[in-house]
Amino acid sequence: MPSSPIVKISNLDKYFGRLHVLKNVSLEVPERQVVCLIGRSGSGKSTLLRCINFLEEPSRGSIEVDGVHVDAEGKGKQQRQLIHDVRLKTGMVFQEFNLFPHMSVLDNVIEGPVTVKGMDRRQAIELAEQNLDSVGMFFKKDEYPMRLSGGQKQRVAIARALTMEPRVMLFDEPTSALDPELIGEVLNVMKKVALEGMTMIVVTHEMGFAREVADRVVVMADGELIEDATPENLFKDPKDARTKALIDRYRSGEG
Amino acid sequence: MASITNEGQSPTSQAELLYQAQLRKERVFRTHVGISWGVLFLILIFLFSGQDIKIGDFTIVQTINIDTEFMLKNITFIAGGLGQTLLISVLSILFAIMMALLAALGRLSKFPPIYALSTFYVSLIRGTPLYLQIFFFFLALPQLGIVLSGIVSGVLALGLNYGAYMSETFRAGLSSVGKGQREAAMALGMTPGQTMRRIVLPQALRFAIPPMGNDFISMTKDSALVSATGFVHELMWRATKVGRSQFNSLEALIMAAVFYWTLTLILTYFQGKLEARLSKGDR
């Protein structure tokens, strides 16, 4: 019996003014799946990801995360509550890390559980320390973010998102702001999170990661999903010319 | 291998030497500035020392003679105003911070009436003299049946006035907090209120504290304007009172000036310390 999807994006449209950036996009992600969203910049992949937790408000269509259904055209207090519920079910990791600079690493990680969920501080610290340990950042728990390298910041950001115990993790180009030598440590942590069974949607340019870790790669161009395949099939036999161009460019960069 | 270590070492030590040379230069400069300050200070004291410098019977320089007996007799009376000066300054700055924060938030509002209210307030206050504002509260309001004491008028006027100017500092502080910070907070599920209190305000305040220190220092001096109401016995009021009544305004004002200046130097010292600590923190 196929399990019902944990994320269901239905007929999503997004306009920025008159610019149509998402064109009737639908996507279903079953639990524990790792999906990589790839495409050239401006293809709408980040916008799609950000619509899932309503950091961008979609213009039409609906989002469903773990049974919480939010219609793009909903309004008022009820809508705000639904968006809040969706945000509690999703953890997000940003390209620019966005750690809170005025808080220590540990305080960054417990901020969400304590302030948003009202979790007991001691319990939050315990959970935060476990997660910091699992991303290899426990030893920096009392440091401030400005003292960390980019890769370390991103690992803390992942721990911060995980400590909210989300059902789905959203990654918005998590390695694009990193020096090349720091990308590996972040990808390794993401791989670990994937192996622990987390559902993940990852916007990335890291084809190596997509090929190795993703269960499925979705290609976007001009605000549409143009291809949706397993990484093996996609890299071996891209159907769309635009996908082929994307993969060729990656291959030439690799060689 | 050997060449690598050499390369690794020599630029570091060279940079180190340059850095030390730079430090030494700065230290020498500061020492010389300090000595010059001392000389200027001595000249100032000499100017008021009441000496006649003569060659034979011919006076070439006559410095100002001040009545030290008057000064000694009245110093405690004038110093008694320090407390009031500080009290007015502290109360006014607290009120100003509140007003500045409200005005800055209003300025960032997307709701036109709130935005308008904030800019209207700032424009009105910045467009009129502080002296007028103090008198407005003290002299004009009683005509409408609202009688405020000198100190309340002073604190209201100073607070409103400084609040208007400080709102610009606060606004800059609030906009210095990047969009990504708000997004990260929202993604965690924080409400707009929580995002403001926990994430944006602490960062904005840290940015705004050094300029707020400067404002507080100016406030201690602008508080002298409150003496014009005649009912607040702070430094300036006391200095003008004893100075006028005994025709010793020169001495009285010199004493008040020394008190204000000393106060400013002390506050500037702490301000510098605070600034150094904040900049070490997270920038």
The one-digit pLDDT tens for each residue of chain A (255 residues) are 456 799 999 999 999 999 999 999 999 999 999 999 999 988 999 999 999 999 999 999 999 999 999 999 999 999 999 999 999 999 999 999 999 999 999 999 999 999 999 999 999 999 999 999 999 999 999 999 999 999 999 999 999 999 999 999 999 999 999 999 999 999 999 999 999 999 999 999 889 899 999 999 999 999 999 999 999 999 998 999 999 988 888 877 654
Query: Does residue B1 belong to any structural domain of this protein?
Result: no
Clarify whether residues B192 and B229 are in a common domain: yes
What number is the average pLDDT over the span B239-250? 89
Chain A CB within 8 Å of residue B183 CB: yes
Q: What is the pLDDT of residue A252?
A: 76
Nearest Cα neighbor of A96 from A171, A185, A192, A205 is A171
ipTM summary value = 0.93
Query: Chain A neighbours among B 159-178 (CB < 8 Å)?
Result: 178
- Quick one: B27 and B118 in the same domain? no
The band of B231, judged by pLDDT with boundaries at 50, 70 and 90, is: confident
CA of A228 vs chain B CAs: smallest distance (Å): 27
Together in a domain, B144 and B255: yes
Q: Which residues contact A152 (CB under 8 A, 6 or more apart)?
A: A137, A140, A185
**Best residue in A98, A143, A148 to probe B by mutation, most B CBs within 10 Å?**
A98
Task: Indicate whether B18 and B42 sit together in one domain.
Answer: yes
What does the pLDDT read at residue B209?
85
Query: Residue B273 falls within a domain, yes or no?
Result: yes
Of B184, B190, B281, the CB nearest to A94: B184
Residues above pLDDT 70, as percent of chain B: 94
Best residue of B177, B179, B188, B191 to probe chain A, by most A CBs closer than 10 Å = B188
pLDDT in tens, A191-244: 999 999 999 999 998 898 999 999 999 999 999 999 999 999 999 989 999 999
B2 falls within a domain: no
pLDDT at B62: 83
How close A231 comes to chain B (CA, Å)? 29
Say yes or no to pLDDT of B7 above 70.
Answer: no
Which of A53, A84, A96 is nearest residue B180 as measured by Cβ atoms? A96
Q: Decide if B157 is inside a domain.
A: yes
**What number is the average pLDDT over the span B122-150?**
91
Statement to judge: residues B86 and B15 lie in one domain: no
B84 and B147 in a single domain? The answer is yes
Same-domain status, B30 and B169: no
**pLDDT above 50 for B14:** yes
A102 CA: distance to closest CA in chain B (Å): 7
Span B64-79, pLDDT tens digits: 888 888 889 989 999 9
pLDDT higher than 70, residue B282: no
Say which CATH number the domain at B249 has: 1.10.3720.10
Sheet holding A7-16, edge to edge: A19-29, A7-16, A60-65, A68-71
Predicted local distance difference test score (pLDDT) of residue B223:
92
Q: Are residues B161 and B42 in the same domain?
A: no
The whole domain housing B187 covers 73-282
Name the more confident of A162 and B63. A162
Residues sharing a CB contact under 8 Å with residue B279, sequence separation 6 or more, in sequence order = none
Q: Which residue of B has its CA nearest to A83?
A: B189
pLDDT bin (cut points 50, 70, 90) of residue B279 is low
Of B180, B184, B190, the CB nearest to A115: B190
Query: Is there a single domain that holds both residue B94 and residue B202?
Result: yes
Whether residues B116 and B135 fall in one domain: yes
Pairs of CB atoms within 8 A across A/B: 61
pLDDT bin (cut points 50, 70, 90) of residue B4 is very low
B218, part of any domain: yes
Test B183 with A55 for CB contact under 8 angstroms: yes
**In a domain? residue B223:** yes
B23 in the same domain as B139: no
Q: Does residue B271 sit within a domain?
A: yes
Write the DSSP string, chain A: -PPPPSEEEEEEEEEETTEEEEEEEEEEE-TT-EEEEE--TTSSHHHHHHHHTTSS--SEEEEEETTEEEETT--HHHHHHHHHHHHHHEEEE-TT----TTS-HHHHHHHIIIIIT---HHHHHHHHHHHHHHTT-GGGTTS-GGGS-HHHHHHHHHHHHHTT--SEEEEESTTTTS-HHHHHHHHHHHHHHHHTT-EEEEE-S-HHHHHHH-SEEEEEETTEEEEEE-HHHHHHS--SHHHHHHHHHHHHHH-
Structure tokens at A188: 């390794």
Of B183, B191, B203, the CB nearest to A101: B203
Statement to judge: residues B25 and B89 lie in one domain: no
Q: Which residues in A lie closer than 8 A to residue B182 (C-beta atoms)?
A: none
| Residue B6 placed within a domain | no
Q: How distant is the Cα of B277 from the closest Cα of chain A, in angstroms?
A: 14
Instruction: Give the distance from residue B194's alpha carbon to the nearest chain A alpha carbon, in angstroms.
Output: 8
Domain count for chain B: 2
